[in-house]
Amino acid sequence: MLVIKRKESESILIGDDIEIIISEISQDKVKIAINAPKDIKITRKELAETCEFNINASEQISKISLNNIKLSLKNTDKK
């Protein structure tokens, strides 16, 4: 991992096509701007992790569980 100190309005280049600019620094946050080609996917890490967690959780549901839910819903409708 590379660690670099930057001041407001300074930037970092990644390869030839990606520039990360420090646009604002406040007490506990840093606002960054990213210039990159449109075909480069940029995602916040916590969103990617949440998405992965949800995909894994949805894969855990078995057909038996879905059938049990279906039966429960049918029994609820009869009441």
- 11-41 pLDDT, tens digit per residue, is 999 999 999 999 999 999 999 999 999 999 9
Average confidence (pLDDT) over 4-12: 95
Q: Could you tell me if 15 and 29 lie in one domain?
A: yes
User: Based on the domain organization, do 56 and 30 belong to the same domain?
Assistant: no
pTM exceeds 0.85? no
Q: Is 35 helix (H, G, I), strand (E, B) or coil?
A: strand
1 within domain boundaries: no
pLDDT of residue 79: 57
On whether both 52 and 77 belong to a single domain, the answer is yes
Shared domain check, 75 and 47: yes
Residue with tokens 């995602």: 43
Same domain for 65 and 47: yes
Determine the average pLDDT of the residues in 52-74.
Answer: 78
Q: Which residues of 4-22 are buried (b: 16+ CB within 10 A; e: fewer)?
A: eeeeeeeeeeeeeeeebbb
For residue 27, the enclosing domain spans: 7-37
Structural domain count, the chain:
2
Answer yes or no: is 62 within a domain. Answer: yes
The pLDDT of residue 10 is above 70: yes
For the chain, the average pLDDT equals: 88
